[in-house]
Amino acid sequence: MRVLVTGGAGFVGSHVVERLLADGHTVAVVDNLSTGRREHVAAAAALHVADLRSARLPAVLAEARPEVVVHVAAQAAVARSVIDPVFDAGVNVVGTVALLEASRRAGVRRLVYTSTGGAAYGDTDVLPTPEDHPARATSPYGVSKVAAERYLECFAGLARLDTLTLRLANVYGPRQDPKGEAGVIAIFADRLLRGEPCVVYGDGEQTRDYVYVEDVADAVSRAVARAGVTGVLNIGTGVETTVNELYRRLSRLAGVTRPAEHAPPRPGEQRRSVLDAARARAALGWAPGTALDDGLARTLAHFKQRVA
């Protein structure tokens, strides 16, 4: 199939592109390179440098003629969304609507959207959290991603477009930028290897569900191939890990004995987050295949190459 991946030069998107190419698809990428890197795009994929909100987007889709669109591009930093919610909404909501309209005009059959799990649900009454739990986003980022989901549902009716939302847990792995829209694992790995102190916000007992990026790419691969699977699916491990425990594991793997420093908690972040991915197992045959320690070791190996 012909597949277009938005944000395909970024952390998650570049892994998705590589997996789709390995599956035998023809892949095009649209990325404005604001956080993505040209060198992350596989040589076999056609790169179109454009913003989703630009007037060029319809022409990009007309040239690529995708049958399926995988929408990964996003403003993905919770902290930035709190500081600049207008920018966050512009990228995550307006950009998504522009993509949906361009997809409708280009005759796209299916759109797979990577949304957020933890930031969408907020602090919940049920852990692990299933898809039918009310969304209680506590950050502008979470709100914007859920709003984009509603637009997908709208266009599914308006344009007869198959849409599937994958609500991702906390994704980590090689190529995540420790200086940009990074998750805590990338930040810790980079600082540990550079001999710099790591900062834990709050008491460190807040939990997250950490899912390895290649497992996410596998979920997207299955979502692309299974036409007719629509709605919302969680993609996570179902395992909670505290930030303190995460630091202990990473520091042990890095051979560092220095304790983490602590700072006040940051606004907009929930206390506990872990996803129930039973529906993804049933609908896509998907399950996470990478144990946390194995994924952390692979991630550290990648960062060692960067630091060396």
Catalytic residues: 141
Greatest CA separation for the chain:
57
Does residue 93 sit in helix, strand or coil? helix
Residue 94 buriedness (CB in 10 A; 0-12 / 13-18 / 19+): middle
Q: Coil, strand or helix: which one is 163?
A: strand
Q: Which residues pair with 6 in a beta bridge?
A: 30, 71
Question: Residue 51 class from Cβ within 10 Å (0-12 exposed, 13-18 middle, 19+ buried)?
Answer: middle
Which helix (H) or strand (E) element contains residue 199?
Answer: strand 199-201
Closest CA to 117 of 72, 79, 166: 166
Per the CB < 8 A criterion, the answer to whether 118 and 208 are in contact is yes
Strands 68-71 and 231-235: unpaired
Cα dihedral 129, 135, 140, 146 in deg (nearest 10): 100
Q: How many residues does the chain have?
A: 308
- For tokens 């907009």, the residue is 268
Calpha distance 197→180 (Å, rounded): 18
Nearest to 307 by CA among 172, 179, 211, 171: 179
Place of tokens 């599937």: 164
Q: Which residues pair with 275 in a beta bridge?
A: 129
